[in-house]
Amino acid sequence: MLKVISRSTFDLQVVLDTLLNSAARLCEADHSFIFLRQGDVYRCASGSGDIPEWIEYLKQQTIAPGRGTVAARAVLEGRTIHIPDVLADPEYTFLEAQRRGRYRTALGVPLLREGTPIGVMVLTPPTVRPFDANHIALVNTFADQAVIAIENVRLFETEQQRRRELSESLEQQTATSEVLRVISSSPTNVQPVFDSIAESAVRLCDGQFSFVLRFDGKVMDFASSYGLSAEGLDAFRSMMPMPAGEDTTSGRAILRRAVVEIPDVEADKAYGAQARGLARTVTYRSILAVPLLHEGNPIGTIAVARANTGSFPERQIALLQAFADQAVIAIRNVRLFDEVQARSRHRANSPAP
């Protein structure tokens, strides 16, 4: 078993299945199960035996700590529970499972991590056949090994998640630095900044496509996009310019001066017919828009759309807000440059005193 655990760091199911098969064989039990904790209840994660429909039935059930089943009783008391005959036990109420599995004796051993149940192993022979002390000790050993395997997988997944987060953070920092580099190298032209932001937004927000819009106080107009097909880009540009309204995500972001997210455009009743038509043309379902705000006033938006429904993670929303701030800096830089150039031209054309 330890060899299986060491070889299956990434696959808990292999370990659980091997544990159950070994426990059932060595303890002469026709069926064995492992229930794992999910929140406040326990669900069957693996089962061994020759009644597959019963195993599937158990996988659809939830077990809460209590007295009605051997599993519930084991996690409630945090100790091994042995019921020689479930039909003779006045507290046993899981009779539909007993009818389907045709078992009589039941043994439940909790999987304890630092004294807290994280699961339970259950063995059920088909007749009244109480387990002896050696069998119970063996199942307790298997339970300890199951805890080791579960903890190994948890630690591995935690480490993988940490690495993913570090990698995402590095990617975001790199993208932010790249946009700042583009800003510094394009003081007279905001277009490269918009293009860089649109591309980075798609890549780092798992987007299908993204776009940047300018807003002059009355209408929104196209500034940049990335990820749209030629057909989608033509359809999108044909909608511009358009007023900022509640019928589009960008319009809402501008009017509300706040981040706007639509997890499912097909379920959003206020989403306009024109925008819905675009969504069906390029097959996106969720969209996020962040306003570009200068001194509290909207001057545009950045939006990212995805093919699937659902909300955007907070880290992606924060990243898009950072891009919006950078876009505002770029726009402001170009405006200041243009103003300086205009003043210079005015002085050059003014008659000498």
Average pLDDT on 32-58 reads 90
The pLDDT assigned to 262 comes to 93
Q: What's domain 186-349's architecture?
A: 2-Layer Sandwich (3.30)
Residue 346 has pLDDT above 60, yes or no: no
Share of the chain above pLDDT 70, in %: 85
Average pLDDT on 29-45 reads 91
Please provide the DSSP assignment of 5-61 as one string.
Answer: HHH-TT-HHHHHHHHHHHHHHHTT-SEEEEEEEETTEEEEEEEESS-HHHHHHHHT-
User: What residue ranges do the domains of the chain occupy?
Assistant: 2-157, 186-349
Query: What percent of the chain is helix, strand and coil (3-state, nearest 5)?
Result: 50, 20, 25
Strands 106-113 and 260-262: unpaired
The pLDDT assigned to 151 comes to 82
Fold designation for 2-157: Beta-Lactamase (3.30.450)
Q: What type of residue sits at position 2?
A: L
Q: How confident is residue 111, by pLDDT bands cut at 50, 70 and 90?
A: very high
The pLDDT assigned to 340 comes to 47
Two domains, one topology: 2-157 and 186-349: yes
Residue 213 near residue 221 (C-beta atoms within 8 A): yes
For residues 241 and 162, the model is more confident at 241
For 331-343, what is each residue's pLDDT tens digit? 776 665 455 455 5
Average pLDDT on 289-302 reads 90
Average pLDDT on 150-168 reads 76
What are the phi and psi torsion angles at 76 (to 5°)? -65, -45
Average pLDDT on 87-112 reads 93
Q: What H or E segment, with its residue span, contains residue 122?
A: strand 116-124
The pLDDT assigned to 172 comes to 63
Share of the chain above pLDDT 90, in %: 40
Nearest to 302 by CA among 322, 280, 276: 322
| Burial class of residue 137, CB neighbours in 10 A (0-12, 13-18, 19+) | exposed
Q: What's the rounded Cα separation, in Å, for the pair 284 and 278? A: 8
What are the phi and psi torsion angles at 9 (to 5°)? -60, -30
CA 106 to each of CA 53, 71, 128, 195, 332: distance values in angstroms, whole numbers, following the listed order: 19, 9, 9, 66, 74
For residues 168 and 41, the model is more confident at 41
For residues 190 and 300, the model is more confident at 300
Residue 134 has pLDDT above 70, yes or no: yes
The pLDDT assigned to 78 comes to 94
CA 317 to each of CA 172, 253, 260, 337: distance values in angstroms, whole numbers, following the listed order: 12, 13, 10, 30
Q: What is the pTM of this model?
A: 0.55
Asked, as a colleague might, if the bond just before 241 is cis with ω within 30 of 0, I would say: yes
Average pLDDT on 18-26 reads 83
